[in-house]
Structure 1
Amino acid sequence: MANRRSDQEWLAIFQQYESSSLTQREFCRQNKISTSTFFAKRRLLQLSTENRHSGFIRAEVIEQSTHYQIAKPVAANMTLSFNDIELSIPQGTPAVYLAELIGALQS
């Protein structure tokens, strides 16, 4: 069974490596540590340390909730009748547009 180590144990191992004069491969061989595990765990802990100093924190969703927002009631359209033409225009249509439309209809 593989020897599981805590992050603290790994940090101690990396400190031992740093204080030794050995290459990573030689250090791993002497301490019976897989080099791939050594490299991967070292990188993972470096990323974790960088993330702690980046100002971001890990967030976890504890409870999911649903929020409902009541839509504003739809305003009724305005009806513009001119001769035999009837147009339905949404409320809030700019007055300038309506003036141009009425002017165009009179032509």
Structure 2
Amino acid sequence: MKTFRNKQQWQELVLAQQQSGLNISAYCRKHKLSTSSFYAHKKRLASTEGAFVCAQISQHKVIEHQVTQLELAPPNVAITLELAHAKLHLPHSVSPSFLAQLLRELAP
């Protein structure tokens, strides 16, 4: 019997695969998922996540660039980047590639 999953469930599966340390084939085998479906949904999610992200600056001056604590948040929780006294709030759906690019741009 075929299992139908909504967008949020696929987002959670893709995130879980990334955090598992397993490659996609091994993850799909372990969780009895079709690799072709997994790749298709991952691609579809990536194309919708690259959209414009609205960010609000709460502090203009950044004093230091040092990551003091990193916590993994469960899916559907907003992402907050905090540098010195500045906080940047991003939606949970922001793509990892956008987040990586943002961190590179914020680096000194």
Q: For the superposition of Structure 1 and Structure 2, which TM-score range results when normalised by the shorter chain?
A: 0.3 to 0.5
Instruction: Work out which of the two has the higher radius of gyration on C-alpha atoms and give 1 or 2.
Output: 1
Tell me which of the two structures has the higher relative contact order, counting C-alpha pairs closer than 8 angstroms and 6 or more residues apart: 2
What TM-score comes out, normalization by structure 1 length? 0.47
What TM-score comes out, normalization by structure 2 length? 0.46
